[in-house]
Structure 1
Amino acid sequence: MKRTLVLAVDRDDDYGVKGKVSTPVVGIENCISAANSLGIADPEDSDLNALYAAISTCMDLQEQGVDATIALICGDEKVGHKSDLAIVSELEAVLDEVKPDNVVLIGDGAEDEYIYPIISSRAHVDSVKKVFVKQAPNIEGSLYVLTKMLSERNKRKRFIAPIGALIFIASLFFLIPDLVIFLTNGDLSELTSISRDLIPFIVGLALLLYAYDFSERWQKFTHYFKERILARSTMMLMTTLAVGIFIISCIVCYYEMKDTYYDSWFIALLSYINMIVWPSMICITIYISGTILYEYQEAMAIRLSNIFDCFSVASFGVMLSGLIDLALFYIGPGEDPMIGILEIVLGIIISMVSSYFKGQYRKNAIAG
């Protein structure tokens, strides 16, 4: 007797995410338990009706004397290539266990065009049944279904985001030329066109923000900012100071380089890097100092490894400056090569001494 597999597929893994069901699920009793789990978590999910339809189909086939069994397989919350790979993996596991001669595929209609090729390439599909939830034939029922669908994050990204992006991009083609004309000519009559173009621009932007949960992401960012960054006020202050000094140093060194004549742009670039080396090293040292102060405030202790990092930064800065001085000597004669050589040697000595004491510190820490 041929064995028939009634297969229910949940491509976006609502059973795993909402119902906490481990898939694949094989057997009528196990599938009823899985349906109950999702029904308790979200009784209005369309995948729930598809599984109940699969259970009903399997029981009908068994009553007709057919050797039938049922299985539920799921994909992944991130619908796409990852979810399809998960479906393939679970499908092959079910096929190895059940070894069916044919498959009856049950779906809710939303993902059948994606699921059918995956199933049919690995098993003989006799029929495909689509399950649609009955709704009252009125506008309120349709609006309810639409609202319910758009409340799910994955469906918002799939349906609303492309529409919002299309409206947003199309509005830019009208808004940008009007803005350019207004800013160039100062023609106040263009304000009417700009106001008109702003409507689809705002609509498209609002749809994109809604599709990608901007409000939720903003709340997470503000929570992270309050909990992580503001709590480390000392470290934040030192980091801001370091970034400020670095930006100012870049600007000052640029104008200093600009006021100096160089034979080529490459020499000018090397000279600029040479001027910015030590301000950069100082900024990194300030950041490390902020870390040291923060850890001292929190634990009343200072890690010597952070102090060793300061010496490592100094050795790197000295060696880099020496290498640039040597390069400038060979490219544009006039520089003293001994300065570059001495800087490189000094950097190596500082690095070796720092590494030695750092190694001793680690040995003592392990021994202690």
Structure 2
Amino acid sequence: MTTLVVCLDRTDDVGRKTGLRSPVVGWEAVRALVTDVGLADPEDSGVNTLLESLRVAQNLRDENEEVVVAVVSGDHDSMVSADRAVAAQLDDLIADYDPESAVVVTDSAEDERLIPIVESRVRVDSVDRVVVRQARDIESTYYLLKQFLADEELRQTVLVPIGLTMLVFPLLATTVGPAEGAAAITTVIGLFLLYKGFNIDELLARFAHQTRESLYSGQVSVVTYVVAAGLTFVGLFMGALGVSNLGTTPGVVLPATRFAFDSVPWLAMAALTASAGRLLDEVIGEDPVRRSFLNLPFIVVAVGLVIRGFSAYFLEQQGVIEPVVVPAAELGILSNERFVMVAGERLALFVVSAIVVSLVGARVASSLSDATDDRTDADGGADAATGPAAEPFAGQADPERTDGGATADPDSSRDRERDR
């Protein structure tokens, strides 16, 4: 079994320092190359890599294996030309020596990028990376910094905030004080980290894309979303106005309940408007309307009724709002007396109404969805019946193929005439 011990040099350091062209093949040739590289640059780690290649080859020979040691270099002009040069040299080595496996020796992560090229041509049994003990930490740090600076996104994410901080902090320290400047910069950095952590930039980009697509496609939901936004602002304003009318009320439970009581009708109308626009888009579209869009308006109304009922119950218990009074009325033979609805009765009415609305919504959504499915199935059946797949059955006669059997078998027809 022939094993190829190949020393990889992607940037052609050996060729630039010695003037030799690769590949360099053979024990004596590589050992002479060690001397040439060492005389040209004694501090180069490539000397250690060449010695490691010779050591690996010697160990394999001691185990009675046939070994071919070689040095393969790339090109320093560009990475693409370097990789292609290495691939061509490997093809020549494999064609000349026909190795069954290879042992790769490198001295940097840059050279290790050539390993897939070797693996695509011969089986790689081992990868031996030579790291000089005195320069291990320095080399690793340098490589990481080089990779970091080569990534544009990382530079913009890390280096730009650090640079802005170093520029802004002296200005803030001289104008408002070191403590205030540090607090302001820390706040900005915290907001930036939250902005990146929650992927707000991607959410904004997705929202802008959806808005642009909606405007270009003429969807009804664009208008209803704007109306819903206006109703939302009105609801928030009405809730804040209701809280301000409470005066100086201790605690936060009562103001929060008042805010919910006054804002929920407007917020429910906003959600109902938005869902109605989305439902209209589904109805106008070509695809069948999904059940979730049919049921959404009823769910919005039911949730609004429940929140309104519970907030009214707590506010009436605290004496903030008055009970509901049904005045007396006479309509012909029907008449009723004045009726006062207490907090519990009001809550029960709202809860029951919410349950009824949700059940009605589920029933309507189920009925409309089933009707849509039936219509889709009927259309599909008609298309299938009239489509090209509607072939005649095996037992039916094909007029173009039978025509009485005369065309299909003329000899049998003549035999019957002769018998008669």
Normalised to the residue count of structure 1, the TM-score between the two structures is: 0.50
Indicate the structure whose relative CO is greater, using CA pairs within 8 Å and at least 6 residues apart: 1
**Structure number having the greater helix percentage:** 1
